[in-house]
Structure 1
Amino acid sequence: MADSPAEVSAAPAEGYEKKCIFCKIVNNEMDTELLHRDEEISCFRDIRPAAPHHYLVVPTKHVGNCKSLHKEHVPLVKQMVETGKEILQKSNVTDLSDVRFGFHWPPFCSVTHLHLHVLAPASQMGFLSRLFYRLNSYWFITADQLIDLLNSKGETN
């Protein structure tokens, strides 16, 4: 269950990378409001929102970008999506058919800490945002596409 911002733990996260901006955010070293933080998942607003609701859902522990993931990471990715849905529902976003959940595909990601973009309503994204978070592109992959890709990999690929 998601914590309210006032209840978010301040304990340092396991797997902390001291040069990673998202690790710093998760560990309250930045002036960024955490909308959710537990041992597994954290969430905060994107600093350059591409939609009225634009959140980043990250593993609390440092995990590399989506190219570094394996089949055993599927539950983590699914948990990230569920957390994104919970944050949207708390923000009174009820139309989950007009939402985009996805990842930038390396080398098109600016931070190597795995992060899920949660964008809603997708229909209200501007032209450049639609391009930057474009479905079926070389630079952006949906959460479902990533899960399918990981499920098709062997355990140690």
Structure 2
Amino acid sequence: MSAEGEEQGPASYDSRCIFCRITNNQEKGSELLHSDEDLTCFRDIRPGAPHHYLVVPKKHVGNCKTLTNEHVPLVQNMIEVGKNVLQKNHVADVEDIRLGFHWPPFCSIGHLHLHVLAPASQLGFLSRMIYRINSYWFITGTDQLLERLQANTATS
């Protein structure tokens, strides 16, 4: 493994990025609920629902605006992992969940991450605003993100 802070390939790791450090087990106190070759999942430090997880690529990937059509399988895999983590944590009502991404400039971390929240019916007032379905700042589901990716590709 390279020294901390060194690049491990093009844009694959950023030592200044908290999510890069968490996915590389360099942050104390971060329990990984899922970890495979491509993705990790852990609890959000400011939960908006009883179950609030973040699914994060292990390689440093920028926010939603940096994605292209080539990232579609990654996004789909992130959603699948999020649903699997909910299932492992005994969330039975898959209709009462919210999955989504903050759209820049409304991202607090510049590393792609999927918010996985359940039960959505238990979101508080502020969380209902922050994680509002298909709003200007929070996009839910792959369909909404795919539409934006295709629009970005068409205008490039």
State the match for 2:114 in structure 1.
116
Greater shift, 43-52 or 133-142, is seen at 133-142
Q: CA deviation at 1:151?
A: 4.1
1:138 counterpart SS class: coil
2:85 equivalent to 1:87: yes
TM-score (norm 2): 0.87
State the match for 1:129 in structure 2.
127
Q: CA deviation at 1:136?
A: 2.9
2:151 equivalent to 1:146: no
1:73 counterpart SS class: helix
State the match for 2:18 in structure 1.
21
Q: CA deviation at 1:137?
A: 1.6
CA contact (8 A) 1:71 1:150 kept: yes
Q: CA deviation at 1:156?
A: 9.2
1:96 counterpart SS class: coil
**5+ residue gaps in structure 2?**
none
Whole-angstrom distance in 2 between the partners of 1:134 and 1:24: 29
**Could you give the per-residue CA deviations for residues 39-85 of structure 1, whole angstroms, max 9, x where no partner exists?**
11110000000000000001111100001000110000000000001
TM-score (norm 1): 0.87
Q: CA deviation at 1:138?
A: 1.3
**What is the 5 A alignment of 1:39-58?**
39-58=37-56
**5+ residue gaps in structure 1?**
1-11
Paired AA for residue 140 in structure 2: T
CA contact (8 A) 1:40 1:60 kept: yes
Paired AA for residue 17 in structure 1: D
Paired AA for residue 18 in structure 1: S
Residue correspondences, number: 146
Following TM superposition, where does structure 1 have runs of at least 4 consecutive aligned residues deviating by more than 4 angstroms? none
Whole-angstrom distance in 1 between the partners of 2:134 and 2:120: 15
Cα pair distance change 1:29/1:155, threshold 3 Å:
farther
State the match for 1:65 in structure 2.
63
